[in-house]
């Protein structure tokens, strides 16, 4: 039998025939004998046995020749609509790219930027997002996308302190190599989100109190400068986006959804950083906010920081007045108060 004939036979084979191959191999564990009996190749046998192991009887049905993922395809209208919604929520371009990747859509940052063309205050095509062809995080963190995905799961409460990060399952879930997984874990450990237990087991951990304090101190330095920059150039469209985001915060607070509420409070600061137009400030704030957001979830257990929404509203009013000094003072007091809640448990 020629290779062409074998391929045709494999394509035309029925689920019943494939079941016979799999069952024969399960009984005998002799791949050579099964292949000789049924006139198929070992790769064909391995393929259908693997599909049966993963999906049971359904795995023996013929699959569509159309690929499930097409990295080069254009965005569908539903994807474009979601991008606009995420942008109005304050998501960065990298966050939008990651959300699309999670649904099996792989597109570049320039493609996302083109899809946002015409949206009020959308980032212009010339906005710098890289240095020498690499994003800032590519120079600091080995795998930007994986690091951000894992950090989001930890700071959102999907992974809690004490949970282990199993490398094989993570490699399957994120379709990444073990070396890439280990690099991302080392980066998470560097900012206090993960600890390495005996036996090189990675465990989600509460960041040390001093690390949270250092992160807040760094955020105050950066974010005071961010609001000063914004106060000098912010427009009505950007003010509208900030107010829309605050309405979402208030809604999450009314529902009593603390995890979502904390995430939105953090995302508000990332939105401010993105509006500054300085990619370096935005990326550094994102790393620091991962630490402080987990600090809120772990150390501030006595209720939601209700004053935060009012603080954000007051800050927006100062920005709308182009009051740089007032906005800077409000940001300093706001972050200082958030940190004080965790120190005192109030």
State the residue range of the domain holding 95.
71-124
In a domain, residue 320? The reply is yes
Same domain assignment for residues 221 and 293? yes
pLDDT of residue 345: 44
Q: Please indicate, yes or no, if residue 286 is contained in any of the structural domains.
A: yes
CATH number for the domain including 281? 1.20.120.530
* 83 assigned to some structural domain: yes
pLDDT on residue 118? 56
Give the model confidence (pLDDT) of 236-279 as tens digits: 999 999 999 999 999 988 888 776 787 788 889 989 998 988 88
Q: Which of 61-70, 180-189, 269-278 comes out lowest in average pLDDT?
A: 61-70
Q: How many domains does the chain have?
A: 4
* CA nearest neighbour of 241 among 331, 316, 328, 324: 316
Q: Report CA 119 to chain centroid distance, whole Å.
A: 23
Q: Identify whether 65 is part of a domain.
A: no
Domain shared by 116 and 149, yes or no: no
Q: Higher pLDDT residue, 51 or 319?
A: 319
Domain shared by 220 and 180, yes or no: no
| Per-residue pLDDT tens over the stretch 136-159 | 333 334 345 777 778 777 766 778
CB 98 within 8 A of CB 109: no
Given 185, 205, 225, the domain boundary residue is 205
Are both 301 and 276 inside the same structural domain? yes
Tokens of 154: 């930890």
pLDDT at position 243 is 94
Residue 327 lies in a domain: yes
Same domain, 270 and 152: no
- The count of other CB atoms within 10 Å of the CB of residue 97 is 22
E strands along the chain, which residues?
164-165, 194-197, 201-204
């Amino acid at each position: 039998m020629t290779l062409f004939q074998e391929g045709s036979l494999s394509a035309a084979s029925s689920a019943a025939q494939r079941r016979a191959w799999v069952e024969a191999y399960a009984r005998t564990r002799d791949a050579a004998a099964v292949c000789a009996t049924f006139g198929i190749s070992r790769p064909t046998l391995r393929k259908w046995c693997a599909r049966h192991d993963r999906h049971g009887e359904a795995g023996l049905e013929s699959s569509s020749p159309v690929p499930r993922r097409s990295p080069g395809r254009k965005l569908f209208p539903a994807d474009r609509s979601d991008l606009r919604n995420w942008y109005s929520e304050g998501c960065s371009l990298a966050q939008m790219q990651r959300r699309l990747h999670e649904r099996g859509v792989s597109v570049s940052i320039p493609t996302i930027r083109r899809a946002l063309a015409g949206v009020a205050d959308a980032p212009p095509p010339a906005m710098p997002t890289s240095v020498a062809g690499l994003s800032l995080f590519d120079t600091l963190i080995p795998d930007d996308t994986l690091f951000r995905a894992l950090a989001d799961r930890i700071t959102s409460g999907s992974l809690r302190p004490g949970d282990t990060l199993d490398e094989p399952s993570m490699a399957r879930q994120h379709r990444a190599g073990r070396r890439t997984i280990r690099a991302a874990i080392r980066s998470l450990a560097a900012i206090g989100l993960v600890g390495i237990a005996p036996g090189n087991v990675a465990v989600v951990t509460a960041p040390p109190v001093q690390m949270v304090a250092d992160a807040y101190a760094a955020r105050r330095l950066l974010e005071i400068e961010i609001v000063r920059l914004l106060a000098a150039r912010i427009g009505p469209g950007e003010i509208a986006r900030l107010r829309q985001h605050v309405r979402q915060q208030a809604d999450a607070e009314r529902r009593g959804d603390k995890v979502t509420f904390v995430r939105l409070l953090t995302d508000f600061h990332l939105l401010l950083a993105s509006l500054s137009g300085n990619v370096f400030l935005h990326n550094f704030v994102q790393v620091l906010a991962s630490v402080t957001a987990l600090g809120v979830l772990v150390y501030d257990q006595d209720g939601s920081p209700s004053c935060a929404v009012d603080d954000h509203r007051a800050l927006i009013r100062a920005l709308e007045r182009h009051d740089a000094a007032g906005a800077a003072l409000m940001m300093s007091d706001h972050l200082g108060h958030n940190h004080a809640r965790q120190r005192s448990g109030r």
